[in-house]
Amino acid sequence: MAHLLHLDSSPRDARSRSRQLTREFVEAWKQAHPADTVTYRDIGRDPLPHVSKAWIAAAYTPPEQRSPELWNAIHLSDRLVDELLSADICVIGVPMYNFSVPSGMKAYIDQIVRIGRTFEFVPEEAENPYKPLVLGKKMFIITSRGISGYGPGEKYEMLNYQDPYLRGVFGFIGITDITFIAVENEESGERSLAESIANARTQIAQLAAR
Ligand SMILES: Cc1cc2nc3c(=O)[nH]c(=O)nc-3n(C[C@H](O)[C@H](O)[C@H](O)COP(=O)(O)O)c2cc1C
């Protein structure tokens, strides 16, 4: 039995392509693995706070020395990290906004990339002092974009700060088993959008059934 963490980061609701497809992914997964459990968090429609001065102070203060103000600043981050650590599989919907991720997704990343919790800094190991702490997870990221052409060798590859960034930052904390599913062409006409959604659905059916 596995535990899934399902996150959506689009601020849209019914019109969101990524949201629709993460839902379909989790439904297909549940059909194939009925005993698995799911935690859902909507970081798109229920946005997380940005990192603050007190948050930074709390993250770098040993727990036993934190004041009530520092605990208050960091407790949500602790909950988000606990949620991530208790998941075996993460399913995340991420739109492309201005060639990168929406600010709500960035706020989530800033909350969960935490020294001492999701990575360690070991100064004695000068060659590679950063040690990931989030190990053994599988991640499925469903990206959505208005147009296409962001893949390797394609016209807009150089503008793609979305999936390379997500692969980099989640890899930094130890999540290296990441599969991307892209829904593209919302702004390129009904036909190319429909084709892209159909391809994403085929991928989802295969991945969820595994
Ligand atoms: C603020 C904003 C910025 C966007 N920037 C891009 C972009 O840089 N490249 C792109 O291909 N599409 C861009 N889009 C289009 C979205 O990626 C597209 O509508 C996607 O389907 C949104 O995800 P959702 O359907 O899950 O809400 C942008 C949309 C918005 C609202």
Closest residue by Cα to atom 4, ligand 1, is 97
Query: In the Cβ-directed half-sphere of 87, how many Cα atoms lie within 13 Å?
Result: 24
Tens of pLDDT, residue by residue over 178-203, are 999 999 999 888 999 999 999 999 99
Give yes or no for residue 149 CB within 6 A of ligand 1.
Answer: no
User: Does ligand 1 have an atom closer than 6 angstroms to the CB of 114?
Assistant: no
Q: What is the mean pLDDT of residues 98-116?
A: 98
Cα of 79 from ligand 1 centre, angstroms: 29
6-51 pLDDT, tens digit per residue, is 999 999 999 999 999 999 999 999 999 999 999 999 999 999 999 9
Q: How far does residue 96's CA lie from ligand 1's centre (Å)?
A: 5
- Quick check: CB of 145 below 6 Å from ligand 1? yes
Pairing of strands 138-144, 3-8: unpaired
Instruction: Round to whole Å and give the CA distance between 174 and 81.
Output: 13
What is the rounded distance in angstroms from the CA atom of residue 180 to the CA atom of residue 163? 8
Q: What's the pLDDT at 22?
A: 98
CATH topology of domain 3-53+83-209: Rossmann fold (3.40.50)
Residue with the smallest CA separation from ligand 1 atom 27 is 16
